[in-house]
């Protein structure tokens, strides 16, 4: 009993006097374990305790917005790049320019660094990128299709043999997953003058393609959400899926699957959204130098390799991909990343998710005309942007 009391006493002393940093993240599973181990390593090496706090992805922005301006936020936090613009405008983020004079940026993949730049200042260092790829069930599929026409053909053939299976699925009413078609057709969402561009012919073509896939080919299930995709794939009832790297964690162990870059769409290269996770520093942190030290530690070559091997992350550090014995899946992710659209960090972006999702729902669930659905969404967006 006494021993425990003494232990608690010293532990509390450690908390009171030991130097510490608070870090918020939205990681789960292996990624979280890897981050926790890295934090421990850092503590052993530098004597700085890293207090980790895992926050659900959906609640992250709200919690951050509520706590940072009141001085209760973290020193550093890890999140996708798409909120950077909004957070800069809200005055939450410290620019990292000041510390970047030692060439840290040169070790990182350039496209991922540029995704962290807002109004000429850099606000985060990229840790890893997440990009959707094509998953296929090896029980049925031996060779990967090169185009969607091929994919449809294979699916139809196999579905004819086995009534219980579906050919292809992706979350088709969600802009994030629709993006590989949308940007594949060279459509855009908005231009530099904040003009809404979703009513143009390219985006109509993209939506027509999504409509065709969902309604005419007959190879896709209806009312798709992520739970449905996981269930079907794990029951061996789904051949192809377009989904992000997080899907690997959902696939059960007795399913043998492979991944490949997304096949061509009517001759166009698909360009799915790539979300890039970065480590950011709060403007309200009182330990900025110490925080920067940790940030540099976590993007270093050594930690990046650890994150890739243990945390299964497609890391943004260049040198890691030249290491021996890395999982071949990462090469696929890197290949897909070459043809990907980084999520925009412009605050304008956050306006688009709901109206685009709405348009997709109209077209796919209610069989609307694509052009009409898009023009309605465009109108709504323009109204929103005016206010």
Partner 1 sequence: MKQLQKSYFIILVVFMAILQYMLYDRTLRMDRFEKGALYLKTEASKITSSIEKSDYQSVVPKTVEESKGYFSEIYLFSENQNSGYDFLVNRELKNHTVKKDLSDLHRKNLYDSCENPQKVTQFENIFLYAEKTKDSCIVFQMGKISLGEPSNGPLGYALIAILLIIAAIFVFNPEEKKNRIVLSIALLASVVLSFILSITDAKTVGYEKISEITVGNINKLMIIFAVMIILFSLFYITNLSVRCSNTLLKHRAPYLYIVPGGIGILFLSFIPLISGILLSFFQVRYNSYNFVWFDNYIDIVIGGLKDIANPKGFYYTFFITVVWTAINIFFHVSVGMGIALIINRKGLKFKKLYSIIFIIPWAIPNYITALIWKSMFHEQFGAINSALELIGFEKISWFSQTFTAFTANLLTNIWLGFPFMMVMTLGALQSIPEHLYDAAVMDGATKWQQFRHITLPMLKPALLPSIILGTIWTFNMFNVIYLVSGGDPQSKTDILITEAYRWAFERNGRYGYSAAYATIIFAVLFLYNQVTTRIQKKSEAK
> Which residues make up the interface to partner 1 (CB under 8 A)?
62, 65, 69-71, 86, 89-92, 95, 97-98, 100-101, 105-106, 110, 113-114, 117, 120-122, 221-223, 227-228, 283, 286, 347, 350-351, 353-354, 358, 361-362, 365-366, 384, 387
User: What are the start-end ranges of the H helices in the chain?
Assistant: 2-17, 29-46, 57-67, 84-89, 110-114, 148-161, 175-182, 201-211, 226-234, 247-250, 288-299, 301-311, 328-338, 353-366, 370-386
Angle, helix 175-182 to helix 353-366, in steps of 10 degrees: 80
Task: Please identify, using beta-carbon distances, which residue of 91 and 266 lies nearer to partner 1.
Answer: 91
- In the complex, the smallest distance separating the C-beta of residue 18 from partner 1, rounded to whole angstroms, is 16
- In the complex, the smallest distance separating the C-beta of residue 380 from partner 1, rounded to whole angstroms, is 8
**Contact between residue 108 and residue 315 where contact means Cβ atoms under 8 Å apart:** no
Task: Please identify, using beta-carbon distances, which residue of 35 and 122 lies nearer to partner 1.
Answer: 122
CA distance 107 to 109: 7
- In the complex, the smallest distance separating the C-beta of residue 101 from partner 1, rounded to whole angstroms, is 4
Q: Which residue has tokens 């890039």?
A: 276
- In the complex, the smallest distance separating the C-beta of residue 251 from partner 1, rounded to whole angstroms, is 19
CA distance 245 to 132: 6
- In the complex, the smallest distance separating the C-beta of residue 233 from partner 1, rounded to whole angstroms, is 14
CA distance 115 to 113: 5
CA distance 123 to 116: 6
- In the complex, the smallest distance separating the C-beta of residue 129 from partner 1, rounded to whole angstroms, is 18
Task: Please identify, using beta-carbon distances, which residue of 354 and 371 lies nearer to partner 1.
Answer: 354
- In the complex, the smallest distance separating the C-beta of residue 152 from partner 1, rounded to whole angstroms, is 19
Sheet holding 238-243, edge to edge: 166-169, 238-243, 133-137, 257-260
Tokens of 226: 């992520």
- From the list 182, 105, 202, the residue with the least C-alpha distance to 343 is 182
- From the list 333, 181, 336, the residue with the least C-alpha distance to 265 is 181
Beta 76-80 vs 20-25: how paired, if at all? parallel
């Amino acid at each position: 009993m006494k021993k425990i009391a003494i232990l608690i006493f010293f532990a509390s002393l450690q908390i009171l006097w030991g130097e510490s940093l608070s870090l918020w993240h939205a990681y789960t599973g292996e990624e979280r374990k890897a981050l926790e181990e890295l934090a421990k390593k850092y503590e052993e090496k530098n004597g700085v305790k890293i207090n980790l706090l895992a926050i659900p992805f959906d609640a992250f922005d709200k919690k951050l917005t509520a706590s940072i301006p009141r001085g209760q936020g973290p020193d550093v936090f890890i999140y996708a790049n798409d909120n950077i613009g909004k957070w800069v405008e809200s005055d939450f983020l410290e620019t990292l320019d000041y510390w970047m004079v030692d060439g840290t940026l040169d070790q990182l993949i350039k496209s991922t660094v540029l995704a962290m730049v807002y109004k000429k200042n850099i606000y985060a260092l990229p840790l890893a990128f997440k990009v959707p790829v094509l998953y296929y069930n090896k029980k049925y599929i031996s060779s990967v299709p090169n185009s969607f026409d091929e994919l449809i053909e294979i699916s139809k053939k196999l579905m004819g043999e086995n009534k219980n299976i579906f050919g292809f699925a992706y979350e088709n009413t969600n802009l994030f997953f629709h993006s590989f078609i949308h940007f594949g057709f060279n459509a855009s969402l908005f231009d530099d003058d904040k003009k809404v561009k979703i009513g143009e012919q390219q985006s109509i073509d993209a939506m027509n393609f999504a409509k065709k896939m969902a309604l005419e080919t007959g190879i896709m299930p209806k009312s798709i959400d992520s739970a449905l995709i996981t269930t079907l794939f794990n029951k061996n009832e789904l051949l192809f899926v377009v989904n992000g790297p997080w899907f690997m964690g959902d696939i059960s162990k007795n399913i043998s699957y492979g991944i490949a870059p997304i096949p061509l769409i009517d001759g166009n290269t698909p360009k799915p959204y790539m979300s890039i996770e970065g480590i950011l520093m709060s403007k309200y942190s009182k330990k900025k130098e110490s925080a920067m030290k940790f940030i540099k530690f976590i993007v270093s070559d050594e930690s990046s390799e650890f994150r890739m091997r243990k945390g299964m992350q497609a890391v943004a550090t260049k040198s890691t991909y030249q290491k021996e014995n890395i999982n071949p899946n990462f090469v696929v992710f890197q290949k897909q990343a070459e043809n990907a659209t980084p999520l925009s960090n412009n605050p304008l972006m956050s306006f688009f998710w709901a109206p685009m999702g709405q348009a997709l729902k109209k077209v796919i669930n209610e069989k609307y005309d694509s052009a009409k659905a898009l023009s309605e969404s465009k109108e709504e967006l323009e109204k929103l942007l005016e206010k």
